[in-house]
């Protein structure tokens, strides 16, 4: 296991349970008897559970190809499908689902960690672009995915308190030392900032919460990979997904 806060029995229950739940929600959508708002809600639920499943697979020590495959199902299928439905009622969707800035950041980071090609990542980038906000960290990851040309220059952050150090770590004009120091600072404060969110994924009850999936800072690993930061001193940090970073380097 990569996360010892839960037992193998916990993970052996949690992972199949989430897979079954995704199937049930998809069957609900396929029934075609749902109102638009309910169908959109179900699509949003699939996004959340698919992300949790990916994180849980990494936590329980699943082989990296299995972890990456779960992430790809989220990034290349579930999330683009959700946004495609949002486009049918954009004002409603942006009002009801306009938050989730942290997860958009994490989706782009996971795309980097999955080594998606520009063609593969295009549906994800187009889905992110549906939302009116623009964010400098998103643009750095989007450029790393091969879509930097012709995009507007963005210097602001949607969530500055959480992501200023990450943006500094991605600064192409920074030195290796300054970028590493910024990434360490980001990793150090990441979970504290994420807990400002109301999402139960970041619960303080990490030893007791029966929906715990692991607290992994995929953004830090993606920044290290995309911008060539030596992550040696980060590897032992409890929230740094070192195995995933290693997998990317091997491929």
The string of pLDDT tens digits covering residues 129-159 is: 999 999 999 999 999 999 999 999 999 999 9
Statement: residue 100 has pLDDT above 90: no
Res 196: pLDDT = 80
- The answer to the question of residue 1 being in a domain is no
Q: Which residue has the higher pLDDT, 251 or 123?
A: 123
Q: In terms of Cα–Cα distance, which of 180, 182, 179 is closest to 165?
A: 182
Number of domains observed in the structure of the chain: 1
- pLDDT > 80? residue 201: no
Contact residues for 10 (Cβ-Cβ < 8 A; gap 6+)? none
147 CB-near residues (< 8 Å, 6+ apart): 118, 121, 122, 125
Phi then psi dihedrals of residue 146, to 5 deg: 100, 20
For the record, the structure tokens of 197 come out as: 């969110």
Average pLDDT value for the chain = 94
Residue 2 lies in a domain: no
CB crowding 104-120: b at 16 or more within 10 Å, else e = bbbbbbbbbbbebeeeb
Pure H helices in 98-239: 101-113, 118-129, 136-144, 160-169, 176-194, 218-226
Is 101 within a domain?
Answer: yes
Residue 194 lies in a domain: yes
The answer to the question of residue 139 being in a domain is: yes
pTM: 0.95
3 belongs to a structural domain: no
pLDDT at 198 over 80: no
Q: Is residue 115 part of a domain?
A: yes
- Our CA dihedral for 57, 60, 195, 83, rounded to 10 degrees, sits at 0
DSSP 49-68: HHHHHHHHHHHTT--HHHHH
Measured distance CA(179)–CA(153) in Å, rounded: 21
**Is the per-residue pLDDT at 197 higher than 70?**
no
Q: What is the residue range of 54's domain?
A: 8-250
């Amino acid at each position: 296991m990569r996360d010892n806060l839960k037992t193998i029995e916990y993970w052996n229950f949690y992972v199949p349970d989430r897979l079954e739940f995704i199937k049930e929600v998809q069957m609900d959508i396929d029934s075609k008897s749902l109102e638009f708002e309910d169908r959109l809600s179900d699509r949003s639920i699939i996004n959340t559970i698919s992300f949790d499943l990916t994180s849980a697979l990494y936590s329980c020590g699943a082989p990296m190809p299995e972890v990456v495959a779960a992430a790809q199902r989220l990034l290349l299928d579930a999330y683009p499908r959700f946004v495609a439905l949002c486009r049918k009622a954009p004002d409603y969707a942006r009002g009801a689902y306009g938050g989730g800035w942290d997860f958009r950041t994490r989706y782009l980071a996971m795309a980097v960690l999955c080594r998606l090609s520009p063609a593969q990542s295009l549906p994800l980038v187009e889905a992110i672009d549906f939302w009116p906000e623009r964010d400098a960290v998103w643009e750095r990851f989007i450029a790393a995915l091969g879509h930097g040309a012709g995009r507007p220059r963005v210097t602001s952050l949607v969530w500055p308190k959480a992501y200023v150090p990450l943006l500094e770590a991605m600064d192409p004009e920074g030195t290796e030392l300054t970028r590493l120091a910024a990434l360490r600072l980001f990793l150090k404060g990441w979970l504290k900032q994420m807990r400002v969110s109301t999402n139960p994924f970041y619960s303080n009850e990490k030893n007791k919460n029966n929906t715990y999936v692991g607290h992994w800072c995929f953004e830090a690993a993606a920044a290290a990979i995309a911008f060539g930061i030596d992550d040696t001193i980060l590897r032992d940090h409890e929230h740094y997904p070192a195995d995933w970073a290693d997998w990317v380097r091997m491929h």
